[in-house]
């Protein structure tokens, strides 16, 4: 096996790992969203439930979700750097060319999908944390009135 064909084989396998990581990231995002949705459904369905006991785990899930997105973003950046190095031996550099086309596109407003995706756990964290703080405020206010 020549060096070129060996490099091409490694390149092909490595590109597949990007797809696999993207699928893992999407599966985890669906899982986290399901946990949050279940918590919200529980809040809406039961008047006896201690809402703070649900809001706190929702805040924690949103932090873990945010961290997971950041982890996969950093992993993808590292993988694309490795691909860039592998493409140095190629005449045609598909990922480098794609990135060049993307950066030179018509829109001046370029925000990555990851940044947009980060909005969801941040908003969930803010809302659930505000609810917890409001609940503690109400509890303290009630406690001092007694």
User: What is the tens place of the pLDDT at every residue in 106-115?
Assistant: 666 677 788 8
**How far is it, in rounded angstroms, from Cα 14 to Cα 103?**
23
User: Token pair for residue 138?
Assistant: 């109400």
Segment 93-144, tens digit of pLDDT: 888 888 888 878 766 667 778 888 999 999 999 999 998 888 888 888 888 8
Instruction: Determine the pLDDT at residue 34.
Output: 95
What is the percent of the chain with per-residue pLDDT over 70, rounded to a whole number? 91
Structure tokens at 112: 């990555």
Identify which of 66, 69, 47 has the alpha carbon closest to the alpha carbon of residue 128: 66
Q: In the chain, what are the domain boundaries?
A: 3-145
Separation of alpha carbons 6 and 146, rounded Å? 77
Instruction: State pLDDT tens for residues 11-20.
Output: 888 889 999 9
């Amino acid at each position: 096996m020549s060096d070129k064909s060996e490099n091409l084989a490694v390149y092909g396998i490595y590109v597949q790992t990007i797809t696999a990581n993207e699928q893992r990231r999407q599966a985890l995002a669906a899982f986290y969203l399901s946990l949050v949705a279940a918590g919200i459904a529980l809040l809406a369905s039961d008047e006896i439930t201690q809402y703070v006991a649900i809001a706190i785990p929702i805040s924690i899930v949103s932090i873990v979700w945010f961290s997971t997105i950041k982890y996969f973003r950093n992993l993808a950046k590292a993988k694309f750097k490795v691909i860039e190095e592998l493409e140095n031996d190629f005449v045609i550099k598909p990922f480098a060319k794609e990135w060049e086309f993307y950066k030179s596109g018509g829109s001046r407003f370029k925000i990555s999908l990851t940044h947009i995706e980060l909005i969801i756990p941040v908003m969930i964290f803010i809302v659930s944390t505000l609810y917890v703080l409001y609940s503690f405020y109400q509890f303290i206010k009630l406690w001092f009135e007694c």
